[in-house]
Amino acid sequence: MSFFTVCLLTDHPKHIKTELNIVNNPQPPPLSLSLSLSLSLSLKLARKRSQRFTYLAAALISSFAVTSMSVFAVYYRFSCQLHGGDVPCSEMLATFSLSLGSAVAMEFWARWAHRALWHASLWNMHQSHHRPREGAFELNDVFAIINAVPAIALLSYGFFHQGLIPGLCFGAGLGITVFGMAYMFVHDGLVHKRFPVGPIANVPYFTRVAAAHQLHHSDKFKGVPYGLFLGPKEVEEVGGLEELEKEISRIRRSRS
């Protein structure tokens, strides 16, 4: 409760001054308004939890399916050859070497595609990732399906054929698959919190990766970094180490 004075001056020769003390009583907001705001907030939180659960279920089911099929394919492909007596060491070495190589190469492919395609001619699809998400999924998720097509094709060809070339194709498809799963857990889970990732969040380097990707969304360095796992190195190359450390500190404070 507060008081204030109103002074009235008249043209009377005696300049009579009248003082009025007015009580200012701010009224609390109506109860119906408070209930409406509370209900709106509750519905928003419930919708967000539902969306996270939906994406988590999709991520777990797809991860389990892909992992199971990959393990089965690797085992079945080489176990059949081992029964013949001669171990195809060169083919196995080529397969697993290309698996590692293609997984690393995918980081550079993703960096180039992100800059030259997603932020250019394919921006109409990718911009859904740079806006507040409405629902469990976004149009940008289509890129994950697009990248899965060559992986499935390479794995299928390598699985149903024998020899060095099919072995290399099988390894390339396996590497793309491994990269895709790692990208989903780090990018979608850790960085954008579309589902919980557990102990992955406590890995120091992944915290740097998350901080670097947040700088990409802030557009402080003209979109850099465009890569994910080597994002911190990209930020350092453009002189953004100080901003990177600030973002890392902010992330750590938010977790504590």
Check residue 79 and give its pLDDT.
73
- Distance between terminal CA atoms of the chain? 40
Distance, in Å, from the CA atom of 157 to the CA atom of 75, rounded to the nearest integer, reads 16
- The per-residue pLDDT string of the chain (256 residues; one tens digit each, 9 = 90 and over) reads 444 444 444 454 444 444 444 445 555 556 666 666 666 676 666 666 766 677 667 667 766 776 777 777 777 777 766 665 566 778 888 889 999 999 999 999 999 999 999 999 999 999 999 998 887 789 999 999 999 999 999 999 998 888 889 989 999 999 999 999 999 999 999 999 988 888 888 999 999 999 999 999 998 999 999 999 999 999 999 999 999 999 999 999 998 7
Evaluated on CA atoms 197, 108, 66, 162, the torsion sign reads negative
**Crossing angle (nearest 10°) for helices 164-183 and 31-82:** 160
Distance, in Å, from the CA atom of 216 to the CA atom of 231, rounded to the nearest integer, reads 9
Model's pTM, two decimal places?
A: 0.74
Q: Mention every residue, 6+ apart, whose C-beta is less than 8 A from residue 114.
A: 226, 227
Percent residues over pLDDT 90 in the chain: 50
Note the helical H segments in 114-198: 123-126, 142-160, 164-183
Distance, in Å, from the CA atom of 81 to the CA atom of 5, rounded to the nearest integer, reads 98
Residue 3: its H or E element:
strand 2-9
Give the type of residue at 227.
Answer: G
List 19's β-bridge partners, or say none. 7
